Amino acid sequence: MSAGHKSSTWGPLIIGIGGFCVLIALGFWQWAKVDQKNRVIAEAEQRLLTPPRPLPEKPDAERDNYMRVTVEGRFVNSEESYFLTSQTLKGPGFDIIVPFETGNGRRILVNRGYVPQALRDPATRTDTTIEGPAQVTGVLRWPDDTSSWTLDPDIAKREFYSRSVAPLAGFMKTEQVMVTASETGGTEWPRGSKAQVNIRNAHLPYAIQWFAIAGIWALMTVIWLRRLARSETDA
């Protein structure tokens, strides 16, 4: 092999090996995230099995997500807002989200549950409007369902298209804390739902994708080097 040939292959070889190492490292990074996310999901599922406890002094979105709690206080029904949603077999409707003032002076969000479109107006469900002292049992939730496709809220109608806590809390002037009311088994509206852990774990497909790209990169590097060798031979 001539000195010129050696020098012409060093660049592609370095690029090939360097790129392959980077891609493999990304694959293993995503692979490690699989176990990490599985632990987060397992911990959240365990919280759903524990008895309800009082609202923590300073709830943490990572530590306390899906923690079952019981709060006492009163609903500020005049400030209820609406999250546009849909449920299987029930169709389109709204989650009713209401500021809740606790007995010790805190103000949080409570998602009372789903109502069909026809019951959006509180005047249509006065029999389930809770005035005065109330107790709510549910789970702490910090949904993050905002995307680039999410519409801006219709402030005039108090309608939101995401349950992300920060915008709701900012609008209703509450702590960035939401309690999603538990399923009661009744037939009245709003109707809470059974809490289920809804934490997406997409790291395994990403890991496989990076490993596959690394394999393709290695193959293309070999093809590139063989073509260089052939061109040197023919020269």
What pLDDT was estimated at residue 72? 93
Report d(CA 172, CA 158) in Å as an integer.
Answer: 10
Q: 190 preceded by cis ω (within 30°)?
A: yes
Q: Does 209 lie in the same domain as 103?
A: no
Report d(CA 115, CA 191) in Å as an integer.
Answer: 7
**pLDDT tens for residues 174-199?**
999 999 888 766 667 888 777 776 76
What pLDDT was estimated at residue 229? 72
Residue 111 lies in a domain: yes
Report d(CA 78, CA 65) in Å as an integer.
Answer: 28
Domain count for the chain, please give it. Answer: 2
Query: In terms of pLDDT, which residue wins out, 215 or 195?
Result: 215
Task: Give the largest CA-CA distance in the chain.
Answer: 92
When the pLDDT of each residue in the chain is averaged and rounded to a whole number, the result is 84
Q: Does 38 lie in the same domain as 60?
A: no
Q: What percent of the chain has pLDDT over 70?
A: 89
What is the rounded average pLDDT of the residues 207-212?
Answer: 87
Q: Does 67 lie in the same domain as 30?
A: no
Q: Does 113 lie in the same domain as 214?
A: no
CA quadruple 38, 39, 40, 43: dihedral positive or negative?
A: positive
Per-residue pLDDT for 120 more than 60?
yes
Q: Does 125 lie in the same domain as 59?
A: yes
What pLDDT was estimated at residue 131? 85
Per-residue pLDDT for 1 more than 60?
no
Report d(CA 30, CA 208) in Å as an integer.
Answer: 9
| CB neighbours of residue 75 within 10 Å | 20
Question: 55: exposed, middle or buried (C-beta count within 10 Å: 0-12, 13-18, 19+)?
Answer: buried
The residue range of the domain holding 116 is 53-181
What pLDDT was estimated at residue 234? 58
